[in-house]
Structure formats: structure tokens, C-alpha cells
Structure 1
């Protein structure tokens, strides 16, 4: 299996890209395994947060060169149109966006090309200080894929994303975090513990509210204020009927930490 799935008692699941000999390259098999893992988790009512990481030494070194070379050969020699193939390929890995809870990318090593795109598809990112990260597609002669151009512009802003994409340069994790790609940069050995701590904070919040927020942030990112207000009002209307709100208010009055039931 090329994606490990480790369940924790607090509703946190760690997914691990696990093909260290190829530095967790983005292969079809890896994509199938990730899609299957997310499908298994999607309907898990007890799920509260997910951490996505890679088996050291890399998070993911990017696309599978054998696949890229085969597609290039078929296109040149056979006139093959790879559009459908690539769209299906993206979907395997971007299935992490379908999870109903926040996903924290623990970028514990190099994350390059499509490998970084998968991390960009997560909600939050912690990166190793010395990891090399970047979208190097232009240096391969390949247009970015896996949502890279769309995701990066929304995370870094248009001008900074354009510089990354046009040059294809790789930067250290510390610089990437300073530019806003990740919440913070820490030593490589601290990446997973820090990501798990963050996931623990998320898991301690109201599961109903966090799941609502996941959807809100996805649907209102490019919406106008009236649309955002309508979404917030509808979500609060749901909140008023939940046991989570009852527990949260009681905990506030009693000055204790809430224990949310998730309903």
C-alpha cells in the first residue's frame, strides 16, 4: 500500500504518502491509494481532522518521470491527447479536498511540482525549514497541473504566484512560510508533531462548526459579502439546534473546557 492510514483516538487520522525509494512520487498507484483512503474517511462521523505527510526523506518529489516520458512519447509519436488522462490523474490526488474536515499538510521534506500541489490542496500547512519547495513545471517544459496555478495564486497572491510559476524556482521552507505558503516553518523532526498538535486543537473545537466552516471557506472564498452573510446566517441557524452549542454555552458559564459531542 502506498498510502498509510493511522487512526488516533481523538478523531485525528494521519495519511502518509509511502514510497520512499521514489521519494513519494505522484504515481497512478499512489493516487489510487490516496483516493481510496479519502473515500474510506469521507463518511466517518467521528473524523475531526486529517494530517497528510510523507515517509522521509521527502514529502513528495513530484510527478512520476516514467509516466511523463511515456505521455510525451505517445503524444509525439501517436498524436495522443492526454487531456482526459491528466484530468483523471489530478482527481485522484485532489480527493483530499473532498474530506469534510480540515486537512493539515505536514511537509516534512522536499515538496516539488505535483507533490507541492497536493500540499496546496490541504487547508493548512506546516513546512520543514530546510525543505525545498516549489512548482518547477516551467523548468521541465511542462505547464503546471494538479491545480497548481489556481491554488498558488489564492494562497500567495497573483504577483508572488506568478514569480514562482514563471521561474519554476525552488525555495527553502523558511522562505516559503515567510511568504505565506505555510503557517510556520520548523525543523524537519518537529513538522509532524507540530501538525498533530494543530490537528488536536482543531479536534477539540466543535466538530459541527468545523465541518460547517470547511464548507463555508470553500464556497465563499470568491463570493460577495451578501452571499457570505447568507451562508453565515444559515449555518448559525443550524448551530442553534445542536448539542455542541448547548455544551459550548454551558462550558462558558461554568468556566471549563468544553467536551463537544459532535452533533
Structure 2
């Protein structure tokens, strides 16, 4: 089976993690999740790396849960919180830059927002579309989306579940670079290059300090999201929406 997550060193001190699950368009398949956890473990274990770029392929960054995965939660079999893979960028020892050159959907968008730096594409779609299917958001989205985008815009995304182009979010004043798709990855490399010029120990120490509160508060948020899933996820209407609306 060909790998769907790759790791390579772009230049000295800079690692790149690329999601390339073309069959599933970078949805959170079991293989993608498993390999993503493994690759981040390799990054943390490699003293050469001082920054890491997380990106996707073509027009896809990450598209969130698979249809089968969502239906398993409906049936009370699965849970989005089995591995906490969505917060790997937050837990990574070194700074992570999410180069979201492609669409970021649901948990895929939330995963990108857990990075230390975010770069968006003007052409791509970003959405927290959980409520479109009738269930409340998970994967830490209720915390990280308002924290990174601001209270008003974050709550708007979470509640209305609409699609927003990067250009739309740029007009709304998101605090990230929003660039033409072809410029997203080069800009992420510039950020990573600046970071890689610093001592690794200092980067690790400062990141640990900067994200300390998020790491401490996130488990309680996840617990409350799971409680909401227990209320909202198991209705027939949710299953019907997943079956009919999931592309």
C-alpha cells in the first residue's frame, strides 16, 4: 500500500509533511491518520528539525472525516477522539506551519488551525461544516476556530457551517497571510527558514510556553464536545443528512 503521508527535509532544519491521500481526497481515512501520527513522531524524534511545514496536494489540504467514519459515530461505534491526531501540530515539539494551499473542511480546517503559523489560499474553501450534517462540531473546533479567527467570525463559521473562500476570510480580517495558491507553500518555506535559523532548544522551550494554556484547556473542551455529540449525533436526521449530503 502506497504511503499517503510523506516526510522529507526541504532544506537544513526544515521538514515537510505532505498529505497525499488521492483516493480519499485527504479525508481522515484510517491510513492517513495512522501515518500522520507516525510521521509527527519521527519529526519529534529528529534533532535536526527546527520547523515543520504541513501541507496537502493540488487543491486539497484536509477534508475531515470520511462518510464511513461519521456513520460509525452515528451508530455509537466510533469517536473522533480515539487518537487526538487533529492536535498533532499543537503537540509537536517544534513550530508547525500549516500551508493550507487547498480546501480545509471540518476537522481538516480545525487541524490546520492548531499549527503555530497558518497560511491560507485565496482560491480555496474553508469551512467548519459539522452543523450542515446536523451534529455539533468536534476535534477541538469549538475552541480553536474562535481562538484563531476571533469570537464573532469563529462563531459564525461554527453555527452557519457555510463555505468561505480564503479571499472572503481575508476581507473579514483573518490574522493570517491569504495568498494565491501558488504562493502559499513558498511563503511557508520563508517562515520555516526564519525559524530554522534559531537554536532548536530555544524554539522548543518558547513553543512549550506559548501553547501551554491551549494544551491545558483542550482536554476539557474535547470532553464537552463529546458530551454534545452524545446529544446530537445519534438522531435519524443526522444519518439522513450524512447519507444525502456527503459527497
Q: TM-score, normalised by structure 2?
A: 0.80
Q: Distance in 2 between matches of 1:36 and 1:49?
A: 17
Q: Which runs of 5+ in 1 are unaligned?
A: 224-263
- Cα 1:47/1:130, change in 2 over 3 Å: same
Alignment of 1:30-179 (within 5 A): 30-72=32-74, 75=75, 80=76, 82=78, 85-89=79-83, 91-179=84-172
Q: Distance in 2 between matches of 1:45 and 1:176?
A: 36
How many matched pairs? 214
Deviates more, 1:118-127 or 1:212-221: 212-221
* Deviation for aligned residue 1:182: 5.2
The residue number in structure 2 matching 1:17 is: 19
Does the 8 Å contact 2:99/2:119 carry over to 1? yes
Match of 2:53, SS? strand
Does the 8 Å contact 1:34/1:93 carry over to 2? no
Q: Distance in 2 between matches of 1:206 and 1:167?
A: 43
Q: TM-score, normalised by structure 1?
A: 0.76
Does the 8 Å contact 1:35/1:93 carry over to 2? no
Does the 8 Å contact 1:155/1:180 carry over to 2? no
Q: CA RMSD in A?
A: 2.0
Alignment of 1:233-252 (within 5 A): none
Deviates more, 1:177-186 or 1:196-205: 177-186
Does the 8 Å contact 1:124/1:182 carry over to 2? no
Q: Distance in 2 between matches of 1:141 and 1:29?
A: 27
Match of 1:86, SS? coil
Match of 1:59, SS? strand
Does the 8 Å contact 2:55/2:98 carry over to 1? yes
* Deviation for aligned residue 1:57: 2.1
* Deviation for aligned residue 1:204: 1.3
What per-residue deviation string (whole Å, max 9, x for no partner) do you get for residues 164-183 of structure 1? 11100111112324545452
Q: Distance in 1 between matches of 2:214 and 2:73?
A: 35
Q: Distance in 2 between matches of 1:121 and 1:56?
A: 22
For CA contacts below 8 A with separation 6 or more, give which structure has more relative contact order: 2
The residue number in structure 2 matching 1:234 is: none
Q: Distance in 1 between matches of 2:85 and 2:60?
A: 20
Does the 8 Å contact 2:103/2:126 carry over to 1? yes
Does the 8 Å contact 2:149/2:175 carry over to 1? no
* Deviation for aligned residue 1:118: 1.1
Q: Distance in 2 between matches of 1:141 and 1:36?
A: 32
- Cα 1:9/1:222, change in 2 over 3 Å: closer
Q: Distance in 1 between matches of 2:212 and 2:136?
A: 27
Q: Given the alignment of the two structures, is residue 184 of structure 1 paired with residue 184 of structure 2, yes or no?
A: no
